[in-house]
A and B are shown apart, each in its own frame.
Chain A
């Protein structure tokens, strides 16, 4: 459910290298430990220095209760806020700002205890009241609240026990409950500051959390600066904060970001622009870390609307899609084609599931059969013309790349489909996807750190006026699988159920999987220790997720 938070910022990434799209906040169990290129472990970290980070976009604000935080926003938020829980390098959820959490036997009540003695940057102490207050503000936010409302009762959702202890009462049992509190919902902000933001929304630009860094200054679309929190609660429990300061520079153009890094104006960047990957490999002064465990890029089909309410047409579209050609043309030899929502290394990968594609002949057979029935839509309009299915392909623009991709798809499809192009502004694009006013769109999604969290995109109950189940595909069998995955009573059934879910997704033909999104994290050789973060019990923590970065343990040599 965490994923919902940023759905306003989410959109159909039309390509793995489409920089304009902000990926949804999701992630898979990620790279374990430090990349090979990182500093040798025996080197001793030194304190000091300012880390300059190149991000792909700026944010409208850094208020976890209201701002739509995408990858850049979450990277900034992670420096100034602490999440209640966090993922380990192995994909487990462990307490962070929370001291502990205990489910009831039926997993319907979760009792959480906060760490004692934690204060926000403004001196306000961290208490149960602060967490509950933030929960209620979030729930009432017209946007972010959408991610909270469906899963909690109207009253009594969070109950205070004492100053540090509280109970969560979700509507239904799930063994994954704490994973919802690992990111935006779990980033706890100062209640004093939230009051101030309510009075003056411009203060959302100057966040106040408990995190390892303190907000210092911000110039929109230019630079946001945080300085070290010398009074950080985690210094003794988690580890020291080495950097004096972090400066975040939003640089939307990926090649400019690369130039700035190579020129020494930035120390670390993230990018999905695969064209640049070889440059990073060829530069001996840069360390490259590629993360493919996150989202997948795929074509998404609206199954609620003719002609794609017919599975034959959906299958035909998949078969007519030149996946290999797409990869060759737009991925520049980087990353790999995706057959499903899991990477081959994942324990949930289903080796039997292969994405259909590159078979126009088979597509033509299916279309001939479908059009042979002279289908009409609800208004009596012909769905086929000249033996080809009429359809619309929508993308968010204006974007030269997205238009090129649309043209490319059309080359493969045109044998069996009459394709109408529909370029929409990003706002309209998201809105029409949410409201089901589309045939086919390019999209980026899935790959949550906890795969169970991806259920929001898949369940029948998320079909409605605004549907997060964008393809509006309802299958009770699938919902049953999802319940089995979430069922706290049967953790052993989980891997099999997830593999079955992969098969189910394939068989629905609501998604045509294209590629794994590749995030490159590139840093200069003087940046060290980024992946050395550990939890309170010394367990290594996740290093990066879908381009999101954490800097508590980072230090600079020289």
Chain B
């Protein structure tokens, strides 16, 4: 079920999960937020994890980092970093890895920076902790980092509080903080969602550039397929706690297999469309992860659903292209798919999709 081994012998995966299951205790019961996910990220590579909210994409990244909230726990499977099992480590043990080996950029730079601490201090504290620098040494490095992330007047900015900076500037500070100790692995969780459209590209560019310059690995979590398109080597699409399609970025766009992925593609906001035009949304709601449906988790919302989909869960399928896997009985392009598509087009239910395909 896992993709064929294309890893070169010297390029072991930096981060790898094997069938991890992350469960949350909720008043309604056990929520299977991540339900058997295997991913691999090699050094210098980037993986985009895409899905709607509740798909488990954020939980996946937090599971890898070991930053689950108190009611969440990895029930099964394994998380490896540089070949070492880290899924069962305590927060105390993970502290050596956090900041130094792995870093994270959050969605909202307003709430993710400590509002009552000067940004300079927020960046130097990890330098001083992990690299044992003196206050002045750390300040010099911080200034250099600020320059790296293209913050103008870095000396002055270091002495400012987050509320004195613009949103984009704050996210640059966040990136600088994440970069501070030269991590090998960067998690970026919706890094541009809260930002102004005009700044989004700049930030993504910056992240990408940093990744390249430092030969970091990147896990980019987003709900927007369009965001990951230009910045990732590989994309994993998640739905209801499972990876439903995974492929190298180009392959995924060129040869989409999952109807869900196809629906996500339709919901990408496009710069060439007027901003007031309605985005295509996927009808229905994400699946209940406490009591998931019996068959394919996407089936209740899938336009191409058939009886089999409702009764049996599809296994991960290997597509023609290497590294391309998906979970669907009737993928895009299959005879059943085409048959249904014709019916739907006739009924006018796929009006808005025509121009996308």
A and B touch in the complex (CB under 8 A): no
Listed in ascending order, the chain A residues whose CB lies under 8 Å from chain B are none
B-side residues, CB < 8 A to A, are none
